[in-house]
Amino acid sequence: MQHHFHPFKLSLLGAVGLSLLIASCEKSGDNPADDPEPTPVVTSFDQLQRRILTPTCAVSGCHSSEADPTFAQHKLVLAADVAYKNLVGVASTNATAKANGLLRVKPFAALESLLYHKINAAASHHSGANYGNPMPLGKELLTVGQIEFVRRWIEAGAPREGSVVDSTLLDDKTPSTPAAEDFEGLKVPSATEGFQLKLDPFTIIPNFERELFMRKSIGNTQDVYVNRFEVKMRNNSHHFVMYNFRNNQNLPALNQIRDLRNPDNSYNLLTALSMQNHVYFIGIQAPYIDYAFPEGTALLIPANTTMDFNSHYVNKSNTSITGEVFVNLYTTDKAKVKNVVKTMDFTNNDLSIPANKRVTLSKTFLMTKPVKVLVLTSHTHKLAEKFVIKIKGGARDGEVIYTSTNWEHPEIKTFTTPILLAKGEGLISEITYNNTTAKDVSFGLTSEDEMGIIFGYYLED
């Protein structure tokens, strides 16, 4: 039997079939061009970059590019296109972190990651180590939620992809440090323990770095021996140093603030000139330190000593902040001191730096008896680009034990294990100067001259 289909019915069936076919294709995804775009996954690292690194770290003058003035010191750029590869699995330039085996970010190990310590003021000491100022310097520190977000991201393996941390942590605005008005200084030692010195509160105006000096009397009417010191400062301090004077003639007036920079940011030349008479006594590049010398050793402070107190604060905010410094010097009986800690003051006076030239100048300082080096720092003027200290002689001959690339604020390196130097061995200062001026420069006391000094502590056997 033959079947005859009406043309209209055939057309209708065809239309229905076509529509079913199209619907089937759309449902099965056989036509990708018509699929809606998938919602992009915002990774935890993207959140960290966008809400922490970019607004607080990768800013001009800090970690935005290799053109930042501090790049030579930290060697870290945190701009969005390079931050991950510059952080994860990478060794730090921080000397203490390197010595303790920390990475900038060590996956699955926040306490072995320098990033965690630098953003967390409460974790600034790890196994007794001091990793310097918390970041961001000169601004409000990260909140409790931001710090916890970073910690969890590291503990989850610090992945580049994937969402591994609850992003609502970033909305937690709880301050990670006490409010400025809640700052507590150090407890005053008893008369038998030692004594306290202070730089009273002072103001740092918005968007300004204030560095000041004040000559103060230690207040000791007889010789004292200091075997421990403690320093505590308000947030946003870059460093604090106490200096002895090489020459006690023509000293600055007592208890008067001498600013290094004028309000227009130009240098105060009289203050800069007074710095040439300094010999390092104690120093700190973190908000707090409690440092004790080896048992049976101490620094000697002669009777009626005065010292220059040097404090440097950074304010990158739009409101004024307050600086303040507490110093406790803890004393010990002379009978308990078997070895007086000596202050290193090794100077290269033979400096000849031609105009418009970059030169590297070295000098060797040999020991006349065995010594133990406890602390090293350095002093130059503005033409110095890099200060390196190497060991001379012995099994470690040529080993670099100190590097600083910031002439204004050099590294202060403390050796948990002292550097042992036998008689006849020594230290080499190797300093690179870049003379961008049109005149030759030599050693001298003015800010237009140069210097090259190794400061530090050591013990003689």
One-character DSSP codes across 103-128: BSB-TT-GGGBHHHHHH-GGGSEETT
Helix (H) or strand (E) holding 323: strand 321-332
Among 196, 201, 200, 183, residue whose Cα is nearest residue 229 = 196
pLDDT for the residue numbered 4: 43
pLDDT for the residue numbered 129: 56
* Domain boundary pick from 113, 146, 179: 179
CA pair distance 292, 189, nearest whole angstrom: 15
Residues 195, 315 share a domain: yes
Decide if 205 contacts 273 (C-beta within 8 A): no
Question: Cβ of 436: how many Cβ atoms within 10 Å?
Answer: 11
Q: How confident is the model at residue 327 (pLDDT cuts 50, 70, 90)?
A: very high
pLDDT for the residue numbered 365: 97
Decide if 328 contacts 240 (C-beta within 8 A): no
CA pair distance 135, 316, nearest whole angstrom: 12
Among 372, 307, 376, residue whose Cα is nearest residue 338 = 372
Average confidence (pLDDT) over 351-366: 96
Average confidence (pLDDT) over 6-20: 40
Question: Looking at the domain assignment, is residue 36 inside a domain?
Answer: no
Residues 204, 288 share a domain: yes
Question: Looking at the domain assignment, is residue 7 inside a domain?
Answer: no
Mean pLDDT score across all residues of the chain: 86
Question: Looking at the domain assignment, is residue 1 inside a domain?
Answer: no
- The phi and psi torsions of 346 (rounded to 5 degrees) equal -100, 110
Q: How confident is the model at residue 448 (pLDDT cuts 50, 70, 90)?
A: confident
**Residue 124 pLDDT > 70, yes or no?**
no
What are the C-alpha distances in Å from 140 to residues 52, 113, 244? 12, 21, 34
Decide if 405 contacts 386 (C-beta within 8 A): yes
Residues 343, 332 share a domain: no
pLDDT for the residue numbered 438: 92
**Residue 279 pLDDT > 70, yes or no?**
yes
User: In this predicted model, which residue has the larger pLDDT, 324 or 59?
Assistant: 324
Residues 398, 318 share a domain: no
Residues 347, 299 share a domain: no
Question: Looking at the domain assignment, is residue 71 inside a domain?
Answer: yes
pLDDT in tens, 76-120: 999 999 999 999 999 988 877 887 889 999 999 999 999 999 888
Average confidence (pLDDT) over 60-70: 79
Residues 240, 312 share a domain: yes
- The phi and psi torsions of 211 (rounded to 5 degrees) equal -125, 125
pLDDT for the residue numbered 22: 39
pLDDT for the residue numbered 62: 83
Residues 154, 213 share a domain: no
Q: Which residue range is the domain that position 416 belongs to?
A: 339-460
**Residue 19 pLDDT > 50, yes or no?**
no
Residues 326, 233 share a domain: yes
Domain count, the chain: 3
Contacts of 80 (CB under 8 A, 6+ apart): 49, 50, 53, 54, 58
pLDDT for the residue numbered 130: 65
Q: How confident is the model at residue 64 (pLDDT cuts 50, 70, 90)?
A: confident
Residues 263, 391 share a domain: no
* Domain boundary pick from 159, 179, 199: 179
Taking each continuous run of H as one helix and of E as one strand, the counts in the chain are 8, 22
**Residue 21 pLDDT > 60, yes or no?**
no
Contacts of 416 (CB under 8 A, 6+ apart): 99, 128
pLDDT for the residue numbered 146: 92
Question: Looking at the domain assignment, is residue 10 inside a domain?
Answer: no
User: In this predicted model, which residue has the larger pLDDT, 423 or 131?
Assistant: 423
**Residue 216 pLDDT > 50, yes or no?**
yes
- The phi and psi torsions of 61 (rounded to 5 degrees) equal 95, -10
> Strand ranges (DSSP E) for 110-269?
125-126, 129-130, 194-204, 208-217, 224-233, 237-245, 258-259
Map residue 414 onto helix, strand or coil.
Answer: strand
**Residue 26 pLDDT > 60, yes or no?**
no
Question: Looking at the domain assignment, is residue 410 inside a domain?
Answer: yes
* Domain boundary pick from 141, 156, 179: 179
Q: How confident is the model at residue 446 (pLDDT cuts 50, 70, 90)?
A: low
Question: What type of residue is 214?
Answer: M
User: In this predicted model, which residue has the larger pLDDT, 370 or 405?
Assistant: 370
Average confidence (pLDDT) over 27-33: 48
Q: State the Cα angle at 428 between 423 and 430, rounded to 5°.
A: 180
Residues 59, 143 share a domain: yes
Residues 333, 192 share a domain: yes
Question: Looking at the domain assignment, is residue 17 inside a domain?
Answer: no
Least confidently predicted of 45-49, 212-216, 268-272, 357-361: 268-272
Residues 313, 380 share a domain: no
The three-state DSSP-derived secondary structure of 226-239 is EEEEEEEECCCEEE
Question: Looking at the domain assignment, is residue 31 inside a domain?
Answer: no
**CATH code of residue 455:** 2.60.120.230
Decide if 445 contacts 425 (C-beta within 8 A): no
pLDDT for the residue numbered 17: 43
Average confidence (pLDDT) over 137-157: 89
> Which tokens belong to 302?
């002669």
